Amino acid sequence: MDANKRERYEKISIQLTKLMGGRENIQGVAHCATRLRIVLNDNDLADLKAVEDVDLVKGVFVAGDQVQIIFGAGLVNDVYEVFAEHNQMKNMSLSDLKTVANKKMNPLQRIIKALSDVFVDIMPGILAAALLTGLSGVLGNLEFVKANDTLFGINRLINISSGAIFGFLPLAVAYSACKRFGGRPILGIVIGCIMLSDSLANAYAAAQGTVEVTTLHIFGMGVDLVGFQGGIIVALLMGFVTAKLDGFFEKKVPEVVRLLISPLLTTLVGALLLFTVIGPVGRGLSSGITNGLVWMTQNLGIFGYGIFSGLQQLVVITGLHHIFGAIEAQLLADTGRNFINPLMSVAIIAQGGAVLAYLAMHRKNVKVRELCIPSFISVLFGITEPALFGINLRYRFPIIGGCIGGAMGGVIVYLTNLAAVGFGTTVLPGIALADPAGNGYVNYVIAHGVAIAGGFIMTLILGRFMDKTPDGAVVEKADEKTFAIQNEVSGQTETPPENGTVEEERFYGYADGQLIALEDVKDDTFSNKILGDGVAIIPAAGRVYAPTDGTVTSLFDTKHAICFTSSQGTEILIHVGVDTVNLQGQYFTAHVQDGDSVERGQLMIEFDQEQIEKAGYDTVIPMIFTDLPADKKLKLSASGNMNTETEAAVVCRV
């Protein structure tokens, strides 16, 4: 990670930790494609309104008792890495966070979240299969591909590859579900293999009556030996059952024979339940879901399509949209066509149209441009969270305009009989999944064009009546650090307060060496005061001391930086060197730990200055005031050589 970016993310982490109610209020942290997900002991201690104004944050909300902060695709990974390290939760697994969060969820929320987690884990494989299917469909319609043996052969292999992945999707679902619910993943794979065994009649062939089905009689019940090809719902149920059986037998079987007997019993009982209970129930659920969706298309027609695509993005706000993956998979398995995918896709691009409209209305606003442009780019690749939470939902009328545009796109999907041959990707990449039958690719473009235009136009119209935000209310944040360093040596002076009273907080020398202004540090992050104002010392020895009495808030794992809170509540960051995070703790020794109370002059960090400089790093030590109130100013009250006895190197004054 670039050093400048890391410093920026460190400041974000410090601010977020404080706004979440402090580290002691944070139970766990994880992230998804766009959101930093934080579980708190007490959500009431978090200042969610202030979080919206943190650098790079595009939106924040609470779902399932998780505080979810929108950063956007890619960015959230880097922010998470630094935030988790800052709060010493980097090694916390996603399952740990789920366990904590699940305790606060109601039963419905737990079910939906679990379904989401199952498909998130196997989504790379699903995307690969979907895109390969789309690619095969495109190539298969080209005459020069058909005429060329090599190209025809390659396309055939692509088709086989995509078909194989979808063909074994129930196995992948059983594996992921078993893993998600706490069982050993290999047992989920075993159950998946049983579901697709060659000893069973192929489910599709059995449905067409082209294969003979053997029937067994177990406990007086007739059990048809039919495979579970396309049985996504059955695989979900079996993954759950297998995980619970595994946990049960692991506890009940004596340790001396557990290794042999526990997996044996799990597999045996699981197989019996598969053919006698879970299989029939799962097939019934699958049939009901598919029949319900087909009924909607046949009986509600154009209205059903419009309602679905118009409201789909409201489902995204709740976090329940991941369940559509299971429905799409089952729909494909049963009918071979997925009309849900293009409906979701037009709903997504319509929200992008709303973003463009809001940008057009406030194009002179720097902050709006910073939010809207990357949010729209994310929309083009099927990710709407930055757009929804950063703009559309925040200002209300854009999301209404986007929903209307989505409904308009849904009407086109119905009229053109547009469908997909896969699932898992939408908007620009999603065109590869469009069913080419009936000019599918052209219809895909038309439907999306109508949706984005509808979202854009309706948002402009609604904005004429509903936009209550003046241009100045969403302007770029003013620099929180309104104070300035005033160096007495340079002849600059400070005008005392009119009331004649001066409240001071003094910070003494924190290292031996030469005191310099922060602007003189040879690093843009520090010299431009991205993290805040402060001072710096060119060290004469490899030791960092406490500049005043206070508490160690956070010692970074790499030991190159330490966050410190003075006894009067002022927060500072002492950073040893420039880009020294790349050393991963080498040459650094910490003498304090998180939560330690320290006194002025107490040794906190030692570092091998010679070795660090030999490695090519600048060892200057900035001290940054990360959250100084606007009514305080910093002043250098000393200059030249510094040590721990140097009085009042820096003074904070009201």
Is the pLDDT confidence value at 319 over 60? no
Alpha-carbon distance of 402 to 492, in angstroms, equals: 55
Give residue 472's pLDDT.
Answer: 37
Task: Tell me whether residue 86 is one of the annotated catalytic residues.
Answer: no
The average pLDDT across 407-421 equals: 92
Give residue 342's pLDDT.
Answer: 92
Tell me how far the alpha carbon of residue 426 is from its chain's centroid: 18
> 96-100, 156-160, 390-394: which range is least confident on average?
96-100
Give the pLDDT band of residue 293 (cuts 50, 70, 90): low
Q: Is the four-CA dihedral 43, 48, 50, 56 of positive or negative sign? A: positive
Is the pLDDT confidence value at 590 over 50? yes
pTM of structure? 0.47
pLDDT tens digits, 266-285: 999 999 999 999 988 888 88
How many C-alpha atoms does 302 have within 13 Å on its Cβ side? 6
DSSP 221-280: EEEE-B--TT-HHHHHHHHHHHHHHHHHHHHHS-HHHHHHHHHHHHHHHHHHHIIIIIHH
How many C-alpha atoms does 51 have within 13 Å on its Cβ side? 26
How many C-alpha atoms does 35 have within 13 Å on its Cβ side? 23
Alpha-carbon distance of 30 to 492, in angstroms, equals: 47
Give residue 205's pLDDT.
Answer: 79
Give the pLDDT band of residue 453 (cuts 50, 70, 90): very high
> 159-163, 441-445, 481-485, 588-592: which range is least confident on average?
481-485
Contact 400, 465 (CB under 8 A): no
Give residue 530's pLDDT.
Answer: 65
Give the pLDDT band of residue 355 (cuts 50, 70, 90): very high
First to last CA, the chain: 38
pLDDT tens digits, 532-567: 788 889 998 899 999 888 998 888 878 888 988 888
Give residue 249's pLDDT.
Answer: 93
Give the pLDDT band of residue 346 (cuts 50, 70, 90): very high
Give residue 491's pLDDT.
Answer: 29
Is the pLDDT confidence value at 104 over 80? no
Q: Which residues contact 340 (CB under 8 A, 6 or more apart)?
A: 293, 308, 324, 327, 328, 331, 423
pLDDT tens digits, 516-531: 888 888 876 677 776 6
Give residue 595's pLDDT.
Answer: 83
- When the pLDDT of each residue in the chain is averaged and rounded to a whole number, the result is 80
Token pair of 38 as six digits: 């934080």
Is the pLDDT confidence value at 502 over 60? no
SS3 string, 359-402, reads HHHCCCCHHHHHHHHHHHHHHHCCCCHHHHHHHHHHHCHHHHHH
Q: Is the four-CA dihedral 277, 278, 279, 283 of positive or negative sign? A: positive
SS3 string, 392-447, reads HHHHCHHHHHHHHHHHHHHHHHHHCCCCECCCCCCHHHHHHHECCCCCHHHHHHHH
pLDDT tens digits, 176-211: 889 888 889 999 999 999 999 989 988 877 866 778
Give residue 246's pLDDT.
Answer: 93
pLDDT tens digits, 41-70: 888 888 888 888 888 887 787 765 678 887
Task: Tell me whether residue 575 is one of the annotated catalytic residues.
Answer: yes
Give residue 245's pLDDT.
Answer: 95
Give the pLDDT band of residue 135 (cuts 50, 70, 90): confident
Give residue 131's pLDDT.
Answer: 67
- Catalytic pick from 31, 32, 86, 362? 32
The average pLDDT across 365-390 equals: 76
Is the pLDDT confidence value at 108 over 70? no
Q: What is the largest CA-CA distance in the chain?
A: 99
Token pair of 414 as six digits: 């119905």
- Catalytic pick from 178, 448, 575, 652? 575
Is the pLDDT confidence value at 473 over 50? no
List, in sequence order, every residue forming a beta bridge with 69; answer none if it has no partner: 36, 60
The average pLDDT across 361-366 equals: 80
DSSP 552-575: EEEE-TTSSEEEEEETTS-EEEEE
List, in sequence order, every residue forming a beta bridge with 563; answer none if it has no partner: 554, 573
pLDDT tens digits, 84-98: 888 887 655 445 555
